[in-house]
Amino acid sequence: MPARLDRKTAPRVYRAYTGMSHQAILGGARLDRKTPIPQAACSDQEVLESLVFTALADCRQIVSRPFGVEQISLPADGGMPTVRLVDTVYAAKSTVSYANWLVQAVLPHAVDESGYSNGIANVRVACVTRQDLTLRFLGTDARLVFRGGPRTDWRRVLWEFQCQLESAGGEALWNWPRSFLTDSVRMKLHDQRPRSLAWLGSGLMRRAAIFHSASSSFYVNGWEGLDELKFEFDTLVGVSATHDRFVNRLIDPLWGLPLIIKERHCYCDDRRGYHCWFGLAHRDGGKRALQLRFTWTERRHLGDWRNMLKATGAQQSRLNEILPEHLCR
């Protein structure tokens, strides 16, 4: 059943999609009744959000929230979104700063003397404070703020990353004044992604909290295929399937994205191979734009995932839902 927009349920639903209480963002202003989750104000903003979100979705780390996103604040006047991040990820037997991981995935940089570059080509740093890293999209008005966890100091993170790059013969490129998309040495930057999916990447980023609130998967990963976005959800065997809950949130006519289900393959009942998947397309037509895959992992392949998630700050109630202790023994 579609989620309605009434005074009683709206705050709860808004929180499920964005992780935020809407009063906190709007200062008590009313949500737009037609688009309670506002769209990006312009196409450049959409592209920036989509590029950044796709990079975060491919995090492939153990984090307490999918992609490291705690909350997203979306000003009703079309102003800059603020993405609030987790503090840490689990990697190589200990927790490390999520901000350190993020700058490597998002900010353009030359890795070493070979000139091999990484990051998102036309993203630049507009402003940095201890708490906030504001990104801009070169040659446009598009902006996005990353708010780090309480232990994050972006200025230190940027400084350390720059020192690390320079000691290896590389270079920080996030303040580069011009576009280098035509520079043959740096063509390996993520510059060739189709803009046709920007509405989807941006729309998903603006609803990133449903990957947490409407899913019981312990690991979610996303990436961009040739002409579609793909997400894989990994759930522990014995934890009930939540794929219908997630997809219903995603296609909700009021709060969700303009998507329809084109294919639904569910094997939960016969448990054959535990691999359910959905194909979704824009409701105005066109081919598949989004593929969602749901797989299940046996306990014996899980390792110490529960404790690793706990080390990143995952809440006990969340752990009990997605990796209950009696199923992890």
User: Which residue ranges make up the site for Zn ion (CB under 5 A)?
Assistant: 241, 266, 268, 276
Q: Which is nearer to Zn ion, 174 or 277 (CB)?
A: 277
288-297/229-236 β-pairing: parallel
| H and E: helices and strands count for the chain | 11, 15
Neighbours of 82 (CB within 10 A): 18
Q: Which is nearer to Zn ion, 64 or 242 (CB)?
A: 242
Question: 172, 162 in Cβ contact below 8 A?
Answer: yes
Query: Phi and psi of 58, rounded to 5°?
Result: -95, 30
Strand partners, 292: 231, 278
Q: Which is nearer to Zn ion, 111 or 266 (CB)?
A: 266
Residue whose tokens read 């063509």: 187
Q: How far is the CB of 276 from Zn ion (least distance, A)?
A: 3
Q: How far is the CB of 269 from Zn ion (least distance, A)?
A: 8
Q: Which is nearer to Zn ion, 3 or 276 (CB)?
A: 276
Note the Cα 320 to chain centre separation in Å: 23
Q: How far is the CB of 275 from Zn ion (least distance, A)?
A: 9
Q: How far is the CB of 294 from Zn ion (least distance, A)?
A: 6
Residue whose tokens read 């927790």: 95
Q: How far is the CB of 266 from Zn ion (least distance, A)?
A: 3
Q: What is the CA radius of gyration of the chain?
A: 20
Q: Which is nearer to Zn ion, 146 or 233 (CB)?
A: 233
